[in-house]
């Protein structure tokens, strides 16, 4: 359950380029920095094709676990700050200064979550060999049919 909540929150908070969503059929020049990173799910799904070593697997697993432990605390903080923002926005009159200060706190936590996720993706990418990166790029551009992955 804990992992599911983390994945859901990250999916909602992260931009599509970091969520690992498939890029459009024709890659666009403005895909952003996410095109240089690979979601752990893609790597795990094709671990045999990529010949992921046990050392690489350990590094990837550790990076994911570190992210999950950081995210739990940040989720609690984000929930608290979001609830406070919601209460500030209720009523006939809104204290603009207080609301904007509170939204800064919410956005700050969201940025910490994004930064932690990006750190994990960078650590994972750095453990991969040039050949593995090339293979992943090919898998992202031309994913095998679902039956071929069984």
Arithmetic mean of pLDDT over the chain = 83
Q: Which residues contact 24 (CB under 8 A, 6 or more apart)?
A: none
Q: How confident is the model at residue 23 (pLDDT cuts 50, 70, 90)?
A: very low
Spatial separation of the C-alpha atoms in residues 145 and 148, rounded to whole Å: 5
First vs last Cα of the chain: how many Å apart? 26
7-22: string of b/e by CB count within 10 Å (b at 16+)? eebbeebbeeebbbee
Q: How confident is the model at residue 12 (pLDDT cuts 50, 70, 90)?
A: very low
Residue-wise pLDDT tens digits, 62-116: 999 999 999 999 999 999 999 999 999 998 999 999 999 999 999 999 999 999 9
- What does the pLDDT read at residue 38? 94
Q: What is the mean pLDDT of residues 42-46?
A: 94
**128: nearest Cα among 64, 47, 68, 65:** 47
- What does the pLDDT read at residue 144? 78
0.75 exceeded by pTM: no
Q: How confident is the model at residue 35 (pLDDT cuts 50, 70, 90)?
A: confident
DSSP 30: T
């Amino acid at each position: 359950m804990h992992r599911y909540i983390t994945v859901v929150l990250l999916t909602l908070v992260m931009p599509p380029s970091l969520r690992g969503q498939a890029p459009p059929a024709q890659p666009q020049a403005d895909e952003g920095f996410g095109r240089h990173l690979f979601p752990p799910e893609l790597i795990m799904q094709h671990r045999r094709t990529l010949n992921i070593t046990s050392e690489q697997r350990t590094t990837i697993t550790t990076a994911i676990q570190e992210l999950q432990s950081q995210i739990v605390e940040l989720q609690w903080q984000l929930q608290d700050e979001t609830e406070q923002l919601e209460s500030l926005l209720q009523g006939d009159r809104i204290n603009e200064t207080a609301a904007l200060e509170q939204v800064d706190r919410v956005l700050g936590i969201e940025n910490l979550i994004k930064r932690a996720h990006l750190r994990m993706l960078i650590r994972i990418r750095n453990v991969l060999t040039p050949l593995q990166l090339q293979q992943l790029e090919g898998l992202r551009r031309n994913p095998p049919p679902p039956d071929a992955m069984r």
